[in-house]
Amino acid sequence: MAVKTAPQARPRPHAKPRGATPRRMPKIKTVLVAASAYVIAFIFLFPYVVMLLTSLRSGDSLREVSFWPEEWVWSNLTNFWTSGLAGNLWVTLKVAFGSTILVLLVALPAAYYSARHNFRGRTAFLILVLITQMFQPTAMLVGIYREFYQFGLVDSIWSLILVNGGFNLAFAVWILNAYFASIPRELEEAAFIDGNGRFGALFRVTLPLAMPGVITALIFTFIAAWNEFVVALTLTTTPEKQPLTVALNSFIGQYQVDWQNLFAGSVIATIPVIILFALIERKVVGGLTAGSIK
């Protein structure tokens, strides 16, 4: 009887150590895309760099050809607080926060109701909201001034809050409507079963999930109100009641421009918006893509 021999095991190839794996060179497409991104970023950041460097120059060195100032004048930034512009910065903060709160109070219930109820005229309402976004405050400046003049709100912070809130309301309603529509109704129905009412389900379930969209609408409203110039220039006449965008215009004279102080004020006015946008950039991106995936 023949005895079967066990098959000999084949030698296993030696595993290559992980550290010895050669790194792959990036593809040409990846390199081109990255290089293009850096070039575009440089194009957008270069004016801000010039603004910062000009704000640190002296008045005599503005006509120098050199890119870097030979003498760094840091007093241009500190003089901002002693020149009275700090009060105008406070006015800008009040207008921006007031407009943002007004948009939140009006756009939130409007967007939620239009997203959850198929009422008659819903499409017409959303189209009407979108049409209002097509009109710019500059085109209706005469009518806006006349209306606020009749109500006695010219040269008032409330007029700026109402105008900025009204013209940013359409964008907020569309963003929030898309985000509320992307949230399943079953989550609210589960909250109803647990004993929550309509407002309880809204504040405990829907709003936390829709927070990226809410933040997106609010930050864009805040930035638009912060940077607004034409309406504020028309509706305010007292220097103490003007926002910073209008107050900086005082550095532009008839025969000369105080560039270093103008750019110093512009740098200080830009810093809060940059910090605010950097802190919530991820939620803003998530809010802009709301409704794209269900």
109 has a pLDDT exceeding 80? yes
Listed by start position, the domains of the chain span 27-73, 83-288
For 201, phi then psi, to 5°, come to: -70, -35
* CA max distance for the chain: 118
**DSSP string over 177-212:** HHHHHHS-HHHHHHHHHTT--HHHHIIIIIHHHTHH
Q: Which CATH class is domain 83-288?
A: mainly alpha
pLDDT at 292 over 50: no
Q: What is the pLDDT of residue 87?
A: 86
Q: Which region among 133-142, 160-169, 204-213 has the lowest average model confidence (pLDDT)?
A: 133-142
Query: Confidence class of residue 281 from pLDDT cuts 50, 70 and 90?
Result: low
pLDDT at 12 over 80: no
Q: How far is CA 210 from CA 6, 143, 184, 291, in A?
A: 66, 36, 11, 11
User: Taking residues 174-197, what's their average pLDDT?
Assistant: 82
Look at residue 33 and tell me whether its pLDDT is greater than 60.
Answer: yes
Question: Between the CA of residue 199 and those of 65, 126, 172, 188, what are the distances in Å?
Answer: 63, 23, 20, 10
Q: What distance, in Å, lies between the first and last C-alpha atoms of the chain?
A: 71
- pLDDT (average), residues 158-186: 87
Scanning the structure block, which residue is given the tokens 């532009």?
A: 252
Q: What is the DSSP letter of 79?
A: H
